[in-house]
Structure 1
Amino acid sequence: MLLIDSPSHNAYFNIASEEYLLHRFPSEDIFLLYVNAPSIIVGKFQNTLAEINLDYVKEKGIKVVRRMSGGGTVYHDLGNLNFSFHTLLGEKDFGDFSTFTQPVLHMLNNLGVPAELKGRNDLLVEGKKFSGNAKLARQGKMIQHGTILFDSEMEVLGEALKVNPLKFIDKAIKSTRARVTNLSHYLPADMTTQQLKELLTCEIIKNNPTAEKYELTSADLEGIQKLMTEKYETWEWNFGFSPKYNFTKAIKIPAGFIEVHLDVVQGTIEKAKIFGDFFASEPIEKLEEQLLGQKHEIESLEKLLSTLDLRSYFGKVTLEEVLEGFK
Structure 2
Amino acid sequence: MRGRFENKMYFIKHVSRVSALSFVTNVVQAKFYSSLAVSSRATTRLVLVSRSNSIYDNLALEEWMYENTDFSDTDYLLMWRNRPAVVFGRHQNPWLEANIPLAYMDNVDIARRSSGGGTVYHDEGNLNLSFLKSRNRYNRKENLHLVVDSIKSKWNLDLEVNARDDIVLDQFYKVSGTAAKLGRVQSYHHFTLLLAVDTSQLWKLLDSPMQGVNSRATKSVPASIKNLEEKIPDLKYEILVDLIGHRFLQEVGAQTSPTHLRYVDPLNETEFPGVLDIRKRLQSWDWIYGKTPKFSLCRTFTGHDFEGVICTLKVNIEIEKGNVVLMTVHLDHQKLVDLIAMINKFYCEIVGNLKLNRKCLSDLERSSREHFKTIISIDRLEVMSVVEWVIRSVDLCYRFV
Structure 1 length-normalised TM: 0.89
Please, which moves more after superposition, 72-81 or 195-204? Answer: 195-204
Structure-1 residue corresponding to 2:365: 305
Q: Partners in 1 of 2:177 and 2:239 — Cα distance?
A: 21
Distance 1:281 1:239, change over 3 A: closer
Helix, strand or coil at the partner of 1:283 = helix
Q: CA deviation at 1:206?
A: 2.3
Helix, strand or coil at the partner of 1:29 = strand
Residue deviations 1:72-106, cap 9 Å, x none?
111101100000000001133xxx52111111100
Distance 1:18 1:153, change over 3 A: same
Conserved 8 A contact 2:330-2:340: no
Counterpart among 260, 268, 282 of residue 323 in structure 2: 268
How is 1:89-238 mapped onto 2 (pairs within 5 angstroms)?
89-92=135-138, 96-110=139-153, 111-126=155-170, 127-164=172-209, 166-187=211-232, 189-210=233-254, 212-214=260-262, 215-216=264-265, 217-220=268-271, 223-229=274-280, 231-238=281-288
Aligned residues: 322
Helix, strand or coil at the partner of 1:121 = coil
Q: Partners in 2 of 1:302 and 1:235 — Cα distance?
A: 18
Q: CA deviation at 1:320?
A: 7.4
Conserved 8 A contact 1:108-1:114: no
Q: Partners in 2 of 1:161 and 1:276 — Cα distance?
A: 34
Q: Partners in 2 of 1:222 and 1:4 — Cα distance?
A: 17
Q: Partners in 1 of 2:204 and 2:302 — Cα distance?
A: 23
Residue deviations 1:22-45, cap 9 Å, x none?
123122321100101110111101
Distance 1:252 1:170, change over 3 A: same
Distance 1:88 1:237, change over 3 A: same
Conserved 8 A contact 1:262-1:273: yes
Letter of the 2:75 counterpart: D
Q: Gaps spanning 5+ residues in structure 1: where?
A: none
Structure 2 length-normalised TM: 0.73
Letter of the 2:53 counterpart: H
CA RMSD of aligned residues (A): 2.6
Identity %: 22
Which structure's residues are more often helix, by fraction?
2
Structure-1 residue corresponding to 2:293: 243
Q: Gaps spanning 5+ residues in structure 2: where?
A: 1-44, 306-310, 373-383
Q: CA deviation at 1:311?
A: 8.2
Q: CA deviation at 1:71?
A: 0.8
Letter of the 2:133 counterpart: T
Which structure has the bigger radius of gyration? 2
Letter of the 1:307 counterpart: S
Counterpart among 22, 33, 36 of residue 66 in structure 2: 22
Please, which moves more after superposition, 161-170 or 57-66? Answer: 161-170
Please, which moves more after superposition, 195-204 or 238-247? Answer: 195-204
